[in-house]
Amino acid sequence: MSFSTTVLTLTTGSTETVTDLTRHCEDFLNRSAQGADGLLNLFVPHATAGLAILETGAGSDDDLLSALHHLLPADDRWQHRHGSPGHGRDHVLPALIAPHATLPVLGGRLELGTWQSICLVDTNKDNRERQVRLSFLS
- The pLDDT tens digits for 111-123 are 999 999 999 999 9
Residues spanned by the domain of 120: 3-137
Q: How confident is the model at residue 125 (pLDDT cuts 50, 70, 90)?
A: confident
Please name the residues in contact with 57: beta carbons below 8 A apart, sequence gap of 6 or more: none
Radius of gyration, alpha carbons of the chain: 16
The pTM (predicted TM-score) of the whole model is 0.93
Give how many domains the chain has, as a whole number: 1
Rounded CA gap, 33 and 14, in Å? 34
- The pLDDT tens digits for 22-61 are 999 999 999 999 999 999 999 999 999 999 999 998 999 9
Please name the residues in contact with 19: beta carbons below 8 A apart, sequence gap of 6 or more: 10, 12, 119, 120, 122
CATH value at residue 11:
2.60.120.460
